[in-house]
Amino acid sequence: MTLRTDVMTGLRWTAGARFLTQLITWAITLVVIRILSPSDYGLLSMATVFVAFLMILSDFGLGFAVIQRTEIDLLTLRKVFGAVVIVHGSAAVLLVVAAPLIASFFAEPRVEPIVRVLALQFVVAAFAVIPDAQLQRRMEFRRRSLLDLSGAIVSSVATLVLALAGKGVWALVAGSLLTQTWRTIGLNSIAPFGYWPLFTFGGLRPLMKFGWRLIASQVLWFFFTQIDIIIAGKWLGKELVGFYAIAMHLASLPNQRIAGIINQVAFPAFARIQDDIDAVGRHLLLGIR
């Protein structure tokens, strides 16, 4: 297929899956919001702001670099896998150790166990990086979109069931963990990478150099969009933060979803034609228009 066909197919599958996902999760979320208290959402927001920051840094941008490379050999992929395992594992340990400090920062002891449980996400996510990058390199958006759709449904239903069972903030925590676990299992089912990681990192410097450029932009965006949660969590308390987090989440969803759809398809598409500067310019101008 041509690049145009791949991109249009990817956009249709990604947009369609996101639309269905949003309809289902919105319906369930509106029910969950009425069951849980604002303080539950506030506690989760306090914990996840630090988890999300480390998640941005967790693979040194190597996942992006794998997608961007026109050719990449098995040895390099195994080295990337090894680096990701080490960094993700270190991030998980760091969160477990730092959990009391995070709870102390917000003066909210209940944040500590939440942070420690959410640290498991890093262990699980490490095994999704290579399969996900391989799928995006091949622009196989249909299977990836269906996986995201099924994961959103399963985690949303699980969150609702636990909320009805009176589990409070742990319903939200479980939903978050289940989303990542489902995604990792699914990615390894449809795009398995059946090789052991290599813990020697010679030759990864060019990939890390590229990845860190993207990571830097994501870090800036993170502080632009999340510094308010840090400040509010420090000074306003969990209940007001909960109200604020829910409102911001609902208000920013349309923009986040549209940007997410475009970015998810555009990055591997531009990576495929990166050596043709004229084609990159034409497609970039077309996308902006």
Q: What is the pLDDT of residue 285?
A: 61
Summarize pLDDT for 75-100 with one digit per residue, the tens.
999 999 999 999 999 999 999 999 99
Q: What is the pLDDT of residue 25?
A: 78
For 34, the domain range is 3-288
- Terminal alpha carbon distance of the chain: 24
Considering only residues 131 and 231, tell me which one the structure prediction assigns the higher pLDDT: 131
Q: How many domains does the chain have?
A: 1
Q: What is the pLDDT of residue 149?
A: 85
Does position 101 have pLDDT exceeding 70, yes or no?
A: yes
Q: What is the pLDDT of residue 281?
A: 59
Q: What is the pLDDT of residue 59?
A: 73
Summarize pLDDT for 235-263 with one digit per residue, the tens.
777 777 777 777 776 666 656 655 555 56
Q: What is the pLDDT of residue 11?
A: 62
Q: What is the pLDDT of residue 183?
A: 93
Q: Please enumerate in sequence order all residues whose Cβ is within 8 A of that of 171, keeping only pairs 6 or more positions apart, or say none.
A: 32, 36, 40, 159, 160, 161, 162, 163, 165
Average model confidence (pLDDT) across the chain: 81
Q: What is the pLDDT of residue 257?
A: 56
- Which has the closest alpha carbon to 253: 224, 225, 214? 225
Summarize pLDDT for 131-186 with one digit per residue, the tens.
998 888 887 778 888 888 889 889 999 999 999 999 999 999 999 999 999 999 99
Q: Please enumerate in sequence order all residues whose Cβ is within 8 A of that of 249, keeping only pairs 6 or more positions apart, or say none.
A: none
Query: Model pTM?
Result: 0.80
Considering only residues 230 and 131, tell me which one the structure prediction assigns the higher pLDDT: 131
- Which has the closest alpha carbon to 201: 87, 57, 55, 64? 87
Considering only residues 221 and 89, tell me which one the structure prediction assigns the higher pLDDT: 89
The rounded distance, in Å, linking the Cα atoms of 232 and 216 is: 24
Does position 276 have pLDDT exceeding 60, yes or no?
A: no
Q: What is the pLDDT of residue 34?
A: 87
